[in-house]
Amino acid sequence: MKPIRGMVVGLAAFSALALACNLDKESVGPALLSFERTQASGAPLFRDSVAPQATDPAIDQALDRHYVWLDTTARSNHKLFVFMSGMGQHPAMFQRVPEEAARLGYHVIGLMYPNSVRIATVCGGQPDPNTCYEKVHLEILDGVDRSPFVNVNQANSIVNRLTKLLQFLADSFPDQGWSRFLAGDEPKWSQIAISGHSQGGGQAAMVAKLHVVARVVLFSSVADSVGGQAPSWVATHVTPADRYWGLAHDRDGFFRPIRAGWDSIGMAAFGPAVAPETSAPPYGFTHMLVTDLVPQGGFVGTNAHGSPSNDVKTPLNPDGSCCRLRDAWRYLLTARTPDEDDAEGDDR
């Protein structure tokens, strides 16, 4: 298959915090974490975008382009970072966090998926909103018909989109190592750090509920709300609680269910929430960061909700450069638990 690509190579030079991780082993309960600093590569960053239908002609909805990042000079951590945007949004709107992940040694994908339905609206008024939320997330994930509120078939599902994109990248760029994140005809979840903003974070949590993943990074999520509290579906998950990390804004309209969801997941067992703007990595090794920084554009509309990860909402430095939350992003992407050993070698 010939690659359809619009490769953009950008230059960036900044310090980062990086670790080489192996997260394939199960952890047992809360434990002390580790964190260390190292210099990130300042080399040109490979960035590509791919039309979903170029990876599978059967994909016929949510056709904004997937984005792909890789720092070919960084020490690989042998993990894939997958980021999913919020309701009605697309990967081009969330590039700063994925770029940081690439600098830290991840292969990185900004995945486009069916996200046009406002789940809070359709499920919030249902007699059993928890079941409604769960069925909608599951149908978007695997394409099995479960809910009348979405119409996602197998071809358009997250699982198929990610699988077909990885196969496409492995064929198009055989020397970049994308095939290591496939296990036959499905993603190799144990090697994947799954992440997203708002609804995308809800989808990430659903993946981690069903599959043991390397890491879960929740930005302004899970935003599903049942009477201002978290839905019960987030409480059970096969991914250990110590692999979940989150960043939210305390003036987010969804902050109450987001924090309740973090508690349901078990993230509070690793320490209280910390404000990254008044502390420094490793933030007491907490798994929960809560900011009060003023978003770009101020506290209007949903700016606080978008500020943890959206490119045009996330707070800038006093000199206008990006980004005030960069150290927080790096921490969420690299802090590790004792069951994680440094990966040896680099098979890229």
Picking from 284, 243, 283, 241, the residue whose alpha carbon sits closest to that of residue 263 is 241
Integer angstrom CA distances of residue 117 from 62, 95, 114, 133, 200: 11, 23, 8, 12, 12
User: What does the alpha-carbon distance between residue 219 and residue 101 come to, in Å, rounded to a whole number?
Assistant: 14
Please give the backbone phi and psi of residue 140, each rounded to the nearest 5 degrees, phi first.
Answer: -65, -35
Domains assigned to the chain: 8-334 (3.40.50)
**Mode of pairing for the β-strands spanning 8-10 and 45-50:** antiparallel
Contacts of the segment 319-322: beta carbons below 8 A, 24+ positions apart: 322/96
Q: Report the pLDDT value the prediction gives residue 43, as an integer from 0 to 100.
A: 66
Q: Report the pLDDT value the prediction gives residue 1, as an integer from 0 to 100.
A: 36
Q: Report the pLDDT value the prediction gives residue 37, as an integer from 0 to 100.
A: 47
Could you list the pLDDT tens digit for every one of the 348 residues in the chain? Answer: 333 333 333 323 222 323 233 323 333 233 334 454 444 555 679 999 999 999 999 999 999 999 999 999 999 999 999 999 999 999 999 999 999 999 999 999 999 999 999 999 999 889 999 999 999 999 999 999 999 999 999 999 999 999 999 999 999 999 999 999 999 999 999 999 999 999 999 999 999 999 999 999 999 999 999 999 999 999 999 999 999 999 999 999 999 999 999 999 999 999 999 999 999 999 999 999 999 999 999 999 999 999 999 999 999 999 999 999 999 999 999 998 656 644 333 333
Q: Report the pLDDT value the prediction gives residue 336, as an integer from 0 to 100.
A: 84
The enclosing H or E element of 137 equals helix 129-142
User: What does the alpha-carbon distance between residue 76 and residue 80 come to, in Å, rounded to a whole number?
Assistant: 10
DSSP classification of residue 75: P
Sign of CA dihedral 88, 91, 95, 101: positive
